[in-house]
């Protein structure tokens, strides 16, 4: 018997299966989809069995050294999905499989994550004529009828317990113990409003299998509709998958689902330990969890009989894997899995991506609109504060108007959310005299100032240096940390307003559980103001929040990225939606230097559809998505000249082979990272078939080149 094994070899682009002989002792255990250990060169490596067959074209095969799994890791569906992902991204097949699996099930040597067990004991029946002391009798009394947890028995006496065990009086039973526990369902169910019900019924009754897009303003009760839909399919014996952006995978959302569905839920997110993730994954595999809530990679959760796949906040960047291969988009996979399972696929957003809205308008998606909030309240009123005029009256970064509004709300016992828009290159260090900007020597990007350690740091490679007193260029003592961090805003705020401020950003939430604690503390009104980065913009639902302030709406507009207007609009819309979600109306203040920019203007009018029209007009003019698809090619390496030359060669080869629009090569926006030089080529195309063959050729050509690295990203969300 022969097994075809796909191996993971680090730092190599070997991407094919190798035949191995299956020794007799493994014949019964070998299966497609399990992991095995095999000799490769002088090493032993891990790999996935992709096929089992009678004979091989090759002689002299090596033996499989070991079998790792009893149960299948890659089901038939995952095996097929992996191939689809490879075809869509041109990544290696092994990387496509690895990305689907929790660390404990990836094919990596040296990763050992074990199941946890509880040990239970029960009397063996036959005590015979053993002489027992009092403690031993007590133990026997406790577990004579039923299995009892070890910790209960040793509480009585460890030595007596051990004696009984040694003499064979107790039978042991091992039961798996999952690391995470969910509360029981409280069956908290809201009766849907007539409008919610209409959408729910429309989706269920819709016979066509095309995806539905729920365009529903913030607070319109989309999440409640998702729960009702999930319930419906669960009752039909199906399972459900809900994708959410990592950022909104807060306890708030999970708690809502747990309240309703209890331990039918499995939640997959980055705050889980590897062990917890492994357990959650197996609860899905063995059918104990029938609802999966998770971020991007949860789209590969090994659910069977899927009845519905929901992608919430479908416009968010986080569904696209941008940083590493395979550069897949979970929304695309959701649609593909939907076709495989013949199930419902539902996208939802208050600001649908242009791609999805354009599809909906063309009838490719089934469009459902929900324009009213559940509480019957209007969306919050939004006031724009023109910082160009305000600048002389401002207190640091706060306009007088915003400060007054904050004071007023705090005095009324209401709560405030303040957003510091940190997208882009915020707190860089410069010389006020000569304009010298401090950049990372490895990465050529601005260093960020960290006040607590008085250092300047590179966010890409970790390079750090003390902030100097004098400028190395002009020797003046005029070093300035431009831009702002949340810490600095917090200090300003505390001088301006007598209130309790809770700061939520990357630094304060990095410890496990910190995020959850903060949210609960704010909900319990231990604080008046929640100040934070993008983290405070999504998914949060605090009834006492009546004021939202955006300190700097503009930073995200200045990013050189075709999505920057959309991202700004959507961020402002999301964060505004945190205000006035309960009985009292909300108000929003947006501080900006660009009050006439259409993204800011339409955000202040809560007018998604006008924004959509304007943005589509610009996209069409500039030949951007959704009018054209983009393909981004990054060419990188240590030798600047060599990289430049190869980039030009690639461009010429593209010119010869395709007639689509080709831009570049040009130095990437992040030109030098960690001493690696990067160039980009962008293709704007209409039809993937016209460019795929040549891209595959280029990709293969450089696979074995150690000096040049090629990365291809189809439909990138950022061009860096």
In the complex, which residues of this chain contact Zn ion (CB under 5 A)?
Answer: 440, 442-443, 458, 460-461, 463
Convert residues 316-355 into a mask of x (bound to ligand ADP by CB under 6 A) and - (unbound).
----------------------------------------
Distance CA 314, CA 215 (A): 10
Phi, psi angle pair for 620, to nearest 5°: -70, -45
* Shortest Cβ 252–ligand ADP spacing (Å): 9
Q: What SS3 string covers 498-527?
A: CCCEEEECCCCCCCCCHHHHHHHHHHCCCC
Under rule CB under 6 A, which residues in 356-395 are in contact with ligand ADP?
374
Tell me the C-alpha distance between 151 and 588, whole Å: 55
Are 636 and 708 within 8 A, CB to CB? yes
Using the rule CB under 6 A, which residue among 174, 175, 177, 190 binds ligand ADP?
A: 190
Of these, 47, 82, 211, 219, which contacts ligand ADP (CB under 6 A)?
A: 219
Q: Which is nearer to Zn ion, 387 or 443 (CB)?
A: 443
| Partner in contact with 425, chosen from ligand ADP, Zn ion, none, beta carbon below 5 to 8 Å by kind | none
Q: Which does 458 bind (CB under 5 to 8 A by kind): Zn ion, ligand ADP, none?
A: Zn ion
DSSP 641-696: HHHHHHHHHHHHHHHHH--SEEEEEEEEEEEEETTEEEEEEEEEES-HHHHHHHHH
Name residues whose C-beta falls within 8 Å of residue 200's C-beta, 6 or more positions apart in sequence: 192, 225, 228, 229, 232
The partner in contact with residue 294, picked from ligand ADP, Zn ion, none with C-beta cut-offs of 5 to 8 angstroms by kind, is: none
Phi, psi of 622 (to 5 degrees): -95, 5
Distance of closest approach, residue 97 Cβ to ligand ADP, in angstroms: 34
Identify what 193 binds: ligand ADP, Zn ion, none; CB under 5 to 8 Å per kind: ligand ADP
What does the alpha-carbon distance between residue 662 and residue 181 come to, in Å, rounded to a whole number? 53
Secondary structure string (H, E, C) spanning 380-442: CEEEEEEHHHHCCCCECCECHHHHHHHHHHHHCCCEEEEECCCCCCCCEEEECCCCCECECCC
Beta carbon nearer to ligand ADP, 581 or 718 = 581
Q: How far apart are CA 488 and CA 650, in angstroms?
A: 46
Mind spelling out the 3-state secondary structure of 191-216? CCCHHHHHHHHHHHHCCCCCCEEEEE
Q: Which is nearer to ligand ADP, 193 or 604 (CB)?
A: 193
CB of 458 to Zn ion, least distance (A): 3
Of residues 540-569, which lie at the interface with ligand ADP (CB under 6 A)? 541
Residue among 216, 245, 483, 716 that touches ligand ADP (CB under 6 A): 216
Q: How far is the CB of 109 from ligand ADP (least distance, A)?
A: 44
Q: Quick one: which of 621, 645, 632, 627 has its CA closest to 717? A: 632
b/e map of 67-103 (b: 16 or more CB within 10 Å)? bebeebbbeebbbebbebbbebbbbbbbbbbbbbbbe
| 460 binds, options ligand ADP, Zn ion, none, Cβ within 5 to 8 A by partner type | Zn ion
Cα–Cα distances (Å) from 405 to 232, 401, 409, 529, in that order, read 45, 6, 6, 12
CB of 219 to ligand ADP, least distance (A): 5
Q: Strand, coil or helix: what is 720?
A: coil
Query: What, of ligand ADP, Zn ion, none, does residue 192 touch, CB below 5 to 8 Å by kind?
Result: ligand ADP
Would you give the binding string for ligand ADP spanning residues 516-545, x where CB under 6 A is met? -------------------------x----
In the bound state with ligand ADP, the residue whose beta carbon lies nearer, of 116 and 583, is 583
CB of 530 to ligand ADP, least distance (A): 17
Q: C-beta of 535: minimal distance to ligand ADP in Å?
A: 17
Q: Distance between CA 342 and CA 82 in Å, rounded?
A: 19
Q: Which of 249, 402 has the CB closer to ligand ADP?
A: 249
What is the footprint of ligand ADP within residues 435-454 (CB under 6 A)? none
Indicate the residue among 541 and 713 with the shorter CB distance to ligand ADP.
541
Q: Looking only at Cα atoms, what is the longest distance across the chain?
A: 96
Q: Are 173 and 120 in contact (CB under 8 A)?
A: yes
Q: In this chain, which stretch among 154-162, 184-192, 650-658, 673-681 interacts with ligand ADP, using CB under 6 A?
A: 184-192
User: Contacting ligand ADP (CB under 6 A), which of 86, 88, 222, 315?
Assistant: 222
CB of 309 to ligand ADP, least distance (A): 17
- Which residue lies nearer to ligand ADP by CB, 193 or 556? 193
Q: How many residues bind ligand ADP (CB under 6 A)?
A: 16
CB of 590 to ligand ADP, least distance (A): 20
Q: How far is the CB of 675 from Zn ion (least distance, A)?
A: 9
Does residue 314 interact with ligand ADP by CB under 6 A? no
Nearer to ligand ADP, 190 or 305 (CB): 190
State the binding partner of 227 from Zn ion, ligand ADP, none, CB within 5 to 8 A by kind: none
- Tell me whether residue 211 or residue 577 sits nearer to ligand ADP (CB atom): 577
Q: Is the Cβ–Cβ distance between 554 and 587 less than 8 Å? A: no
Is residue 220 close enough to count as binding ligand ADP by CB under 6 A?
yes
DSSP letter, residue 446: B
Classify each residue of 267-277 as buried b or exposed e, where b means 16 or more C-beta atoms within 10 Å of its C-beta: bbbebbeebbb
Q: Measured from the CB atom, is 193 or 321 closer to ligand ADP?
A: 193
Among the candidate windows 186-194, 204-212, 424-432, 483-491, which touches ligand ADP by CB under 6 A? 186-194
Tell me the pairing of strands 239-243 and 455-457.
Answer: unpaired
Does position 224 interact with ligand ADP (CB under 6 A)? The reply is yes
Could you give the count of Cα atoms lying within 13 Å of 549 in the half-sphere of its Cβ? 23
List of residues contacting ligand ADP (CB under 6 A):
190-193, 196, 216, 218-224, 374, 541, 581
């Amino acid at each position: 018997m022969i097994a075809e094994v796909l191996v993971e070899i680090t730092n190599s682009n070997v991407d094919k299966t190798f035949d191995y002989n299956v020794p007799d002792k493994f014949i019964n255990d070998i299966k497609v989809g399990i992991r095995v250990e095999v000799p490769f060169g002088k090493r032993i490596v891990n790999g996935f069995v992709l096929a089992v067959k009678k004979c091989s074209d090759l002689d002299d095969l090596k033996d499989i050294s070991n079998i790792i799994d009893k149960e299948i890791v890659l089901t038939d569906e995952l095996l097929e999905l992996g191939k689809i992902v490879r075809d869509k991204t041109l990544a290696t097949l092994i990387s496509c499989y690895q990305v689907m699996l929790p660390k404990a099930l990836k094919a990596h040597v040296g990763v050992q994550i074990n199941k946890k067990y509880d040990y239970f004991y029960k009397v063996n029946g036959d005590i015979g004529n053993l002489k027992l002391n009092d403690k031993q009798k007590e133990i026997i009394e406790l577990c004579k009828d039923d299995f009892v947890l070890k910790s209960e028995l040793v509480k009585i006496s460890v030595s007596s317990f051990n004696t009984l065990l040694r003499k064979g009086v107790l039978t042991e039973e091992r039961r798996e113990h999952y690391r995470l526990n969910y509360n029981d369902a409280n069956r908290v169910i809201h009766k849907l409003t007539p409008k919610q019900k209409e959408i729910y019924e429309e989706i269920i009754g819709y016979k066509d299998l095309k995806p539905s897009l729920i365009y529903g303003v913030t607070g319109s009760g989309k999440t409640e509709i998702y729960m009702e839909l999930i319930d419906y399919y669960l009752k039909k014996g199906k399972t459900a998958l809900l994708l959410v952006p990592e950022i909104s995978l807060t306890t708030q959302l999970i708690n809502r689902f747990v309240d309703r569905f209890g331990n039918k839920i499995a939640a997959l997110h980055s705050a889980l330990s590897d062990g917890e993730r492994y357990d959650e994954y197996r609860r899905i595999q063995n059918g104990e969890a029938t609802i999966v809530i998770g971020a991007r990679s949860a789209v590969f959760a090994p659910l069977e009989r899927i009845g519905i796949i929901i992608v919430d906040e479908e416009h968010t960047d986080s569904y696209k894997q941008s940083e590493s291969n395979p550069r897949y988009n979970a929304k695309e996979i959701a649609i593909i899995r939907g076709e495989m399972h013949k199930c419902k696929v539902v996208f939802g957003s208050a600001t649908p991506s242009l791609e999805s809205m354009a599809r909906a308008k063309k009838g490719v998606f089934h469009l459902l609109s929900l324009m009213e909030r559940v509480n019957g309240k209007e969306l919050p009123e939004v006031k724009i504060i023109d910082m160009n005029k305000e600048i002389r009256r401002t207190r640091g970064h706060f306009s007088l108007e915003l400060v007054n509004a904050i004071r007023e709300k705090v005095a009324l016992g209401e709560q405030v959310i303040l957003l510091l828009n940190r997208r882009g290159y915020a707190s860089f260090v410069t010389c006020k005299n000569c304009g010298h900007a401090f950049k990372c020597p490895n990465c050529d990007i601005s260093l960020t100032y960290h006040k607590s350690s008085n250092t300047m740091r590179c966010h890409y490679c970790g390079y750090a240096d003390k902030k100097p007193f004098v400028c190395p260029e002009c020797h003046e003592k005029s070093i300035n940390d431009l831009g702002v961090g949340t810490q600095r805003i917090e200090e300003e705020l505390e001088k301006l307003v007598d209130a309790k401020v809770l700061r939520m950003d990357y630094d304060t939430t990095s410890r496990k559980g910190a995020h959850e604690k903060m949210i609960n503390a704010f909900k319990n009104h231990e604080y008046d103001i929640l100040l934070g980065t993008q983290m405070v913009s999504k998914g949060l639902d605090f009834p006492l929040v009546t004021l939202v302030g955006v300190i700097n709406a503009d930073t995200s507009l200045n990013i050189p990225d075709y999505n920057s207007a959309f991202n700004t609009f959507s961020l402002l819309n999301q964060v505004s939606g945190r205000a006035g979600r309960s009985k009292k109306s909300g108000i929003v203040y947006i501080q900006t230097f660009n009050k006439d920019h259409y993204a800011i203007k339409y955000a202040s009018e809560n007018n998604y559809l006008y924004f959509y029209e304007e943005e589509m007009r610009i996209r069409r003019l500039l030949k951007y998505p959704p009018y054209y698809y983009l393909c981004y090619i990054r060419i990188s390496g240590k030798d600047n000249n060599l990289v430049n030359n190869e980039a030009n060669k690639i461009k010429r080869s593209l010119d010869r082979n395709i007639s689509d629009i080709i831009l570049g090569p040009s130095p990437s926006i992040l030109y030098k990272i960690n001493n690696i030089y990067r160039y980009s080529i962008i293709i704007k195309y209409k039809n993937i078939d016209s460019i795929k063959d040549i891209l595959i050729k280029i990709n293969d050509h450089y696979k074995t080149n150690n000096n040049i690295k090629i990365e291809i990203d189809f439909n990138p969300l950022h061009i860096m």
